[in-house]
Amino acid sequence: MNKIKLNNGLSLPQLGFGTYKITDEEILDKLLPKAVDLGYGLLDTASYYNNERAIGDCICRHTLFGKLKVCTKIWPKDYGRDQTLYSIEKSMKNLRLDKLEGLFLHWPSEDFEESWKALEEVYEEGLCNFIAVSNFHKQHLEKLFVHANIKPAIDQLETHPLLQQKDMKEYLSQHNIQLEAWSPLARSVEKLTDTAVIEEIASKYHKSPQQIVIRWHIEEGNILIPKTSKLERLEENKEVFDFSLSREDHNKIAKLDSGIRVSQDPEDENWLKEIREK
């Protein structure tokens, strides 16, 4: 498994797995031990996913402590220093962990500056290994930099061949912040194969379209957290380290960049206000 070095010296596995909408404890009970057996080390969740307790119970039941680097996110409804600290305490209790790998602010909604200060406190207390943000664009980060003593280690952004985030990636690189791709397969790989480009490349390498996209992320230097609830897909997603894409194929994928989102836009102020109440 490739490792990516963060701005605080910590190294993370480049390929993890996401747990968005996976709330069935029976599925998690099979998924997490299998992920450990396959060599996955990075798990992404969030308070908003409503599965932290199920994940924690599974970690405890299968004695997976120390075998998974667990990251979670604070939802905007819990922004503000005190509420953020309470949210972190609740997440750690639900996850059955006395230390987290990473803590993220989930969206750049109102009061995120105060919440960032809370994350800095928790980081300095040694309760997590890094602090980060999710869905922050340039203007959000510049606002954060005014108040922050510690820069985010990661910015988690919707990133896939249809939305390659080239400008944001360059900006993050200038500030030594790592891009982490969520929804790295655009939620449904069918969206990526409408043009047949990914399928053609997959046929060339005798790989699945999903594996081609994951390999593209790996070679782009992104950390990525594809979500799956299927054991066979968890295994397939990891079988991407035995080949490399040609420069020609990278160029073909680059031409798919069309700014198409499969989720919410961090520039949508109405959305940012709405999630304060969710």
Provide the whole-model pTM: 0.96
Name the CA radius of gyration of the chain, rounded.
Answer: 18
Closest by CA position to 5, among listed 166, 154, 216, 181: 154
| 40 labelled catalytic | no
Q: Residue 13 has which token pair?
A: 């596995």
| Residue 146, pLDDT score | 96
Contact 45, 53 (CB under 8 A): no
Count CA atoms closer than 13 A to 51's CA, side-chain side. 25
Query: Which architecture, in CATH terms, is 3-274?
Result: Alpha-Beta Barrel (3.20)
| Residue 256, pLDDT score | 93
- SS3 assignment, position 238: helix
| Residue 58, pLDDT score | 96
Contact 135, 266 (CB under 8 A): yes
Contact 31, 231 (CB under 8 A): yes
Q: Taking CA 117 as the corner, what is the angle to CA 105 and CA 65, rounded to the nearest 5 degrees?
A: 60
Q: Which of 48, 49, 79, 123 is catalytic?
A: 49
Closest by CA position to 183, among listed 237, 225, 235, 145: 225
Whole-Å CA distances, 93 to 3, 60, 61, 87, 129: 28, 12, 15, 10, 17
Mean pLDDT for each consecutive 10-residue tract of the chain (278 residues)? 94 96 94 95 96 97 94 97 98 97 97 97 98 98 96 98 96 98 84 78 95 96 95 95 97 93 94 90
